[in-house]
Structure 1
Amino acid sequence: MSNVCIYSAVCGIVITVFIVFILVYDVKSFSKFSLEDGWVEYLSALLSFLSSVILLFTFFKIKKIDNSRVKWSIFLMSVILFILAMEEISWFQRILEFNLPELMNGNSQNEMNLHNFGTNYMENAYYFGVYFLIVLVPFLNQNKPEWFTCLFIDFLIPTRGMMLIGCVVAGYNYDMWNVFFMQFIFYTSILILTVIFIQSKFRTERILILLTLGVIFFSQFLFLKKGEFFTRTWDVTEYRELLLPVGLLFYSLLLYGRSRNIEKHKGLKLKTVLWKPLK
């Protein structure tokens, strides 16, 4: 496993343990921190913004490579993460205290953002999009059936170690626990971690997988047990939306590291291949 992947896995585990500690120690503080304009919201926005900036640097760093799909995919991800950051803080509406434009009158929370026009759909698209990118893609990349072939841009495929932080998020459920989509993510994550544990030949990776599994089960158990004491039933989702940008930040750093490798080896041609990730 690369250092970025190890750090991302450890970071996901440590953050979850810290969040669970807050929950056990003081449920009121757990809910308070997750409220609008709380540190959880601002930190989520900051991490998404940092990821956007890193991807923008990556875009300019690899602008001379021969694969335009890689370049513009990175640019698109940078734009999406910037929008996510701004949506998280309602485009500075509450900070700058400006009035809501008439165009936003249908917003369910009367805020300057787009996602509250269809909160459930937007949230599910965000959750599944990140899960697909940092968990399913690297897993399918290394475990595809012989009959399955699909063109994919090798530069953008996360390494296997990145899956761990994506799987940790699967244990952040309370109000959405009975939603099939969230249970699919939870049980799929358990299955995937079990498979890669069996496949792994590295002691460090196997230890991290076991720790990740333990954290998922323990955190999910506590969230379900303590959820009735939340100020809002969806408080835990705010913490999920904190951990997702952490995973995206490490993914952005991974791509930036790969762009530096390409810069060091001038003349290297980046090709679109059949599910063969750049190490």
Structure 2
Amino acid sequence: MSRKSIPTNGVETPNWRCLLLCFAAIIGLEVFYLSEAVFAVERLPELSLPYLIRSGVLLAATAVGVWGFVYGRSPKFQISQSPGPWPERLSTAVVLLGTLACLALFTVFPRLFNVLSREDYPVEWGSALLLFASSFLAAYALFANPLIKAQSPFLKFMLGLLSAVFFIIAMEEISWFQRVIDIKSPESFAGNAQAEMNLHNFATNEIEYIYYFCAFGFLVVLPFLRFAFPSLGRNQFMNLFVPKPYVAVVGAVACAYNYDMWNSVLTQFAFFSSTIMLCFFAANASLRKDRIIVVGAIALLVTSQLVFLINGSNFGRLWTITEYKEFFIPLAFLVYSWDAFINPGPVGLLPAGSSTSGNPQAKYV
């Protein structure tokens, strides 16, 4: 048996070199933590030499850590597992083109870029509608998909919980329709940063960081782990709740929409990790057209981040960019929801208790 990867009970596990690399990365990150707060106060990005050195340390530690997960193995990346382009390649292309359009809008028409992000304008409502759509798809699958209805009560509970989470985030985005139906804020919300009927504005910075980082973990890290350890897709629960690798290409887009939060270690870690993970996708792509798509995504990711940091004067408000970040995160959630719950691909979920032993051609992705 090869010493590079020793399976345990049929599950791929990292070898000791992988763990050593990850440990080295953790030490590097700890050094960085000592010099920068996790929940940094929103302010202009620091681009002085000391901060650039900090970013370099974080980048190096992140690269070593990510490398540790694929060290000694040769995973293959492929965007589409379906015969046709939908939904994988088409949805990926749509999101990347949307990113390119936003970058062009910011560069050429910055005033319009700012106007569209105002409260109750298209970007904010788009964010809410995308989350409502994801919530609906999860609920629809729970009650209408016969394959999911045949699963364990725990799996169905988690799917219902995910649908509820999407719904609550959407309602928080529009303050539970307060402004739409003109409801006066109760006195209990007087301490709210916007004096509106939402919970997240009682601790705006902290909740924003948590939401963004959790979204990064779900939409980028989990798909990368499925790429590094394909056996994750062989479990019914994981097959549903761990997004397919291509979702990371879509989810990484939001990680470049930073300006006022750039000084935070969480923000930079998410951006650097996303970029590095996409580089591993490109290097291990099975098809040339997939490699081209991923390289294009990397170029967009890096270019967008640099343009936003360099042209901060284009922002009408310091936090304008977060409105677009909060649009691309739900857009990635919708791609995942459609793929997982409506069009799961050639494998999808198996009925509870079934296996592939009787079908040697069955393949998990």
How far has the Cα of 1:204 moved from its partner?
2.0
Structure number with higher helix proportion:
1
Where in structure 2 are the equivalents of 1:173-188 lying within 5 Å?
Answer: 173-188=258-273
Q: Which runs of 5+ in 1 are unaligned?
A: 272-276
**Aligned residues of 1:51 and 1:78 also touching (Cα < 8 A):** yes
> Quick one: distance in 2 between partners of 1:67 and 1:264?
12
How many correspondences in the alignment? Answer: 270
Q: 1:137 to 1:120 in 2, by over 3 A?
A: same
Deviations 1:216-268 (A, max 9, x none): 11111211122223111110110010011110001110122357978997x56
Deviations 1:202-224 (A, max 9, x none): 11210111110110111112111
How far has the Cα of 1:162 moved from its partner?
0.7
RMSD: 2.6
Once the two structures are overlaid, the 10-residue window that deviates more, 99-108 or 251-260, is 251-260
Give the alignment partner of residue 353 of structure 2, picking from 265, 269, 273: 269
Q: What secondary structure sits across from 2:318 in the alignment?
A: coil
Give the alignment partner of residue 158 of structure 1, picking from 228, 243, 246: 243
Partner residue, 2:162: 77
Equivalent position amino acid for 1:226 in 2: N
Deviations 1:7-48 (A, max 9, x none): 332122111111111111221111111111111001111110
Q: What secondary structure sits across from 1:232 in the alignment?
A: coil
Partner residue, 1:25: 108
How far has the Cα of 1:114 moved from its partner?
0.7
Deviations 1:52-100 (A, max 9, x none): 0011001112453232222111111110111111111111111111100
> Quick one: distance in 2 between partners of 1:101 and 1:36?
20
**Aligned residues of 1:58 and 1:259 also touching (Cα < 8 A):** no
Partner residue, 1:209: 294
In the alignment, structure 1 residue 35 sits paired with structure 2 residue 118: yes
Once the two structures are overlaid, the 10-residue window that deviates more, 8-17 or 136-145, is 136-145
Please report the TM-score for the alignment, with normalisation by the length of structure 2: 0.69
Find the structure with the greater CA-based Rg.
Answer: 2
**Aligned residues of 1:155 and 1:278 also touching (Cα < 8 A):** no
Where in structure 2 are the equivalents of 1:61-100 lying within 5 Å?
Answer: 61=145, 62=147, 64-100=149-185
> Quick one: distance in 2 between partners of 1:6 and 1:260?
13
> Quick one: distance in 2 between partners of 1:41 and 1:234?
13
Q: What secondary structure sits across from 2:134 in the alignment?
A: helix
Q: 1:67 to 1:261 in 2, by over 3 A?
A: farther
Q: 1:63 to 1:216 in 2, by over 3 A?
A: closer
Please report the TM-score for the alignment, with normalisation by the length of structure 1: 0.89
Give the alignment partner of residue 230 of structure 1, picking from 308, 315, 318: 315
Deviations 1:151-195 (A, max 9, x none): 963322211111101112121111111111110011111110111
Q: 1:51 to 1:151 in 2, by over 3 A?
A: closer
**Aligned residues of 1:9 and 1:164 also touching (Cα < 8 A):** yes
Equivalent position amino acid for 1:45 in 2: A
Residue identity over aligned pairs, in percent, reads: 34
**Aligned residues of 1:44 and 1:88 also touching (Cα < 8 A):** yes
In the alignment, structure 1 residue 248 sits paired with structure 2 residue 337: no
**Aligned residues of 2:96 and 2:250 also touching (Cα < 8 A):** yes
Q: Which runs of 5+ in 2 are unaligned?
A: 1-78, 81-85, 356-362
In the alignment, structure 1 residue 57 sits paired with structure 2 residue 120: no
> Quick one: distance in 2 between partners of 1:108 and 1:278?
47
